[in-house]
Chain A
């Protein structure tokens, strides 16, 4: 097998293995009218429809709306998205959760985002979890004093470059001003200290927290360090180094000669963020969680952004080529081809081994804001079909593509998340960025090119936003997939139903799954799961013919 070429065709053949409309009906039938009306818009059969002009267009899905009370959702809170997802993986910022003990505790080292400090001398606070652990008197009399003291203690203990403060729900209610506390401690201690108003009740999911994290990192950190970077300098955005994914991508970049300024935020450091505006191109992996920063850096500093995906061997090759194509430098293209050539034999060998064992099997993916899309690449490389998928906290653009952004209605839950008004920086805006982008566009190169999950899925598959635990069970009953991808909350319920569940948040202690070597790991893992023999041992001998029963009858 040779290295893949860049043009992968969009699948057009309809999926025939499931009765999508029938399953949809079943999933909706038990709901009271109001809940059903809401869910009808979020459970969609992927089927192009004719629009007013007679053109075939993707169906519209409702997304990023509040989960009804009492519906057991996969979703977490704004705080989780801000502290846990975006800032969690950075190793040298001390994160302080301002709130009662649980919020901080639950976000302490639970995402398997890995980091690798070059030496023991380098700061690495990943294993620490600071919280103000508010007590009743703080709730009654305010917690600002305790917060200042906690910042002071963190400073005394570690002398870090930066301290970040995260607000939880009660903090918003009692009116503590974390930004003011951060500011005065910043002045006092002379290091960068900033706060996040990421109270859990804001927005409808982690997504609000991503946005708030993007805003504050942009406001307080990016642009602090103007060190010039190499000619092929990029940022990798929306890659969180779960199970070591970033390590593999970093390695590819290094071998290609690509200068990785910062990853947002797998294996990252404060200085990388501070310097990230000096990159020439932003490469966005998880569009949902990080597109805000990419947009803002483009507006303020002139760095264009593209969508990439390093999940799947073909997608990885395609993304590397896309980066090389931007720079229009033969040397870089040569490097990229060489690296792909070096990596590909192992991928081809693995595909040859595992594909026949997995082909034709069915997968479902309900996770995150990009993984439910990206991982379909790996399944199709195994010959497996994704029959149903959806995001936990995606927005319409993640399903239908960025072209729908102007038509997205902002509801009350999202209106309170700040949209920053960003202008070109008079000193630091680099016009060569837009200039390069203009030239690239002339030759058909696309920026901001996220077309969403639906277009890549077959017709007559199911797209379900914010699937509930109850719906998950109905869906599995109706279509018994060969593997179900979700997170730990869903894992054991799915497995009780006799279907293996692969966690795509934490990778079940596995990974890495990114890039070429990661793809090989994933093939082996999925083979192990869909061909496991353990299920055949479940029926006990007495389930069939019981000697006891026979005697007594």
Chain B
């Protein structure tokens, strides 16, 4: 791993070759999450079957929902003769079983290594009308980038391959970074209450966090409609939420360029200030005031911060995970008076350090940023900076356990708790939940380590 930690602490880390406890997942996983947010979609991973199984298992252990990902199942001889037949066969089998409304194809490392080109293979689709669903393909070698990049690439591929140019309509496009189904649900709620017609892409708020079913569905209900993806090209604007995605490589960037859809680039709405920015933007786009329930939600959040910030202020935290999430959370922690003394990610956009330091200028000197890092590098920083808590995914548990500090589980993957898909990070409501969890965890660890069994504060 070409590590990039604060050089002052671990100069040696810069030359480390191995990744020791990775802090990123592989690229096609992100594409699978994105495709899962399209109504009636099925995903085929082009390559060996093991990748599909691993990725499926990983997603399922987090989302706790049925998730089917097919594979074109390369055999040893496929690596010699190429994967065309396997791909076409897999499309036919997927179609016969599931009659999907869209098929997403993402490549795995093996397919990329032998130079597979799904677009070319697709030209060989027999015109017997069997495979009639629109097909979106995206190149996702894991040896370049991480799951976060795969997610962005798949979203871009969907608009680039499906969107149709048209005269501007009323709706806006919303592009969120990889987040929880609860975040997406809440985002839609906000926009709906501004009475703003919108297309959220992807929208896995139902597909990856569903209800009980009265009858069995071959494909989980919900998701962005394929027609709505087509209509992203005629939206009046796109709003994309990201700090780190390359400004030229997102779905919104493509729409701006190819379909002249104006783009607003906002930070993911995490914490007070960043959520304020979202509401401000929505007010200016719609010309409406923030709906009263949301204003009240903000009011209650601030009221609780006034009452409770003394329990958290002055504390130190380590934040680990996807870059966009880490930046958002670091900014929010700083709002609470908690210094995010270590910010770490396996993501390699190269923008994490600049973003964190410029967003939190008054504490910049106290923050160690580990970009393109693994957990062992992050651990070195964490050990020397001794945070009071860690904010990260289940994969940070080992670290929290070694340091004997609470872990606030956020992001992906959360596979040792039951609420990964319901964890809310966005908006005033997400900030409220995070604040409550953080404050309570700190209070609890103080209470637990007290010699007096007090039950009052």
Please report A residues at the B interface, Cβ cutoff 8 Å: 30-32, 35, 66-80, 96, 99-108, 110, 127-136, 138-139, 146, 149-150, 153-154, 157, 168-170, 172-174, 200-202, 204, 412-413, 416, 469-470, 473, 477, 487-489, 491-493, 496-497, 538, 543
Contacts and interface: CB of A to CB of B under 8 A. Distances in A.
Nearest to B26: A102
Contacts of B67: 492
A100 B26 contact: yes
Contacts of A412: 75-77
Interface in B94-149: 94, 96-98, 108-110, 112-114, 141-144, 146
A104 B17 CA distance: 15
Given A71-B93, A170-B109, A488-B60, A129 B20 contact: yes
Nearest to A78: B50
Contacts of B113: 139, 169-170, 173-174
Contacts of B92: 32, 70
B76 to A, nearest CB: 5
- Most chain A beta-carbon contacts within 10 A, residue among B56, B77, B415: B56
A169 B87 CA distance: 18
Contacts of B90: 69-70
A407 B10 CA distance: 60
Contacts of B363: none
B49 A73 contact: yes
Interface string B42-85: 00100111111111111011001111111111111111000000
Given A101-B26, A133-B19, A413-B75, A127 B97 contact: no
A489 B56 contact: yes
Contact of B89 (A70, A173, A491): A70
Contacts of A487: 57
B421 to A, nearest CB: 11
B29 interface: yes
B18 A31 contact: no
B142 A101 contact: yes
A538 B110 CA distance: 44
A136 B144 CA distance: 6
Contacts of B217: 496
Contact of B29 (A67, A75, A102, A201): A102
A6 B192 CA distance: 68
B408 interface: no
B53 A76 contact: yes
A188 B26 CA distance: 33
Contacts of B346: 101
B22 interface: yes
A70 B144 contact: no
A80 B18 CA distance: 20
B57 A75 contact: no
A170 B217 CA distance: 36
Contacts of A105: 22, 24-26
A134 B112 CA distance: 13
B54 A76 contact: yes
- 4 pairs of A and B residues whose beta carbons are closest in the complex: A77-B50, A102-B26, A70-B93, A70-B90
- Most chain B beta-carbon contacts within 10 A, residue among A76, A80, A104, A170: A170
- Most chain B beta-carbon contacts within 10 A, residue among A79, A103, A200, A487: A200
Contact of B18 (A76, A110, A150): A150
A492 B57 CA distance: 11
A30 B96 contact: yes
B69 A72 contact: yes
25 contacts: A35-B93, A70-B92, A70-B97, A71-B97, A73-B53, A77-B48, A100-B142, A101-B346, A102-B28, A102-B55, A106-B54, A106-B58, A130-B19, A133-B19, A136-B141, A169-B79, A170-B143, A172-B79, A413-B76, A469-B68, A473-B218, A487-B57, A488-B57, A492-B67, A496-B217
A132 B96 contact: no
- Most chain B beta-carbon contacts within 10 A, residue among A69, A100, A139: A69
B1 A133 contact: yes
B216 interface: yes
A90 B287 CA distance: 63
A106 B55 contact: yes
B212 interface: yes
Contact of B398 (A31, A80, A127): A127
Given A30-B97, A132-B17, A101 B24 contact: yes
Given A76-B53, A77-B49, A153-B16, A488 B26 contact: no
Nearest to B2: A135
Contacts of B24: 101, 105
B60 A128 contact: no
B146 to A, nearest CB: 7
A134 B113 CA distance: 12
Nearest to B44: A70
B86 interface: yes
B91 interface: yes
Contacts of A132: 17-19
Given A30-B96, A105-B22, A110-B57, A80 B50 contact: yes
Contacts of B27: 102
A489 B92 CA distance: 23
Nearest to A131: B19
B94 A201 contact: no
- Most chain B beta-carbon contacts within 10 A, residue among A66, A76, A136, A491: A76
B21 interface: yes
Contacts of B75: 66, 201, 204, 412-413
Nearest to A471: B97
B50 A470 contact: no
Nearest to B24: A101
B79 A173 contact: yes
Given A168-B109, A170-B113, 18 more contacts: A32-B96, A66-B73, A70-B71, A72-B52, A73-B49, A76-B53, A100-B143, A101-B19, A102-B54, A108-B22, A129-B20, A131-B22, A153-B17, A169-B113, A173-B79, A200-B50, A204-B75, A496-B66
A73 B52 CA distance: 9
B456 interface: no
A201 B53 contact: no
A281 B227 CA distance: 66
B454 interface: no
A197 to B, nearest CB: 11
A121 to B, nearest CB: 16
- Most chain B beta-carbon contacts within 10 A, residue among A80, A106, A168, A491: A106
A536 B228 CA distance: 38
A133 B22 contact: yes
B12 to A, nearest CB: 10
Contacts of A32: 92-93, 96
Contacts of A73: 49, 53, 71
B73 A131 contact: no
A530 B142 CA distance: 42
Nearest to B58: A106
B48 A128 contact: no
Interface string B295-329: 00000000000000000000000000000000000
Contacts of A30: 96-97
Interface in B351-408: 398
Contacts of A77: 48-51, 53-54
Given A66-B75, A101-B24, A489 B109 contact: no
B200 to A, nearest CB: 23
Contacts of A68: 73, 89, 93
A128 B21 contact: yes
Contacts of B25: 101-102, 105-106
Nearest to B214: A543
Contacts of B97: 30, 70-71, 470
B147 to A, nearest CB: 8
Nearest to B85: A69
Contact of A101 (B52, B58, B87, B146): B146
Contacts of A134: 143
Contact of B21 (A129, A150, A538): A129
A99 B109 contact: yes
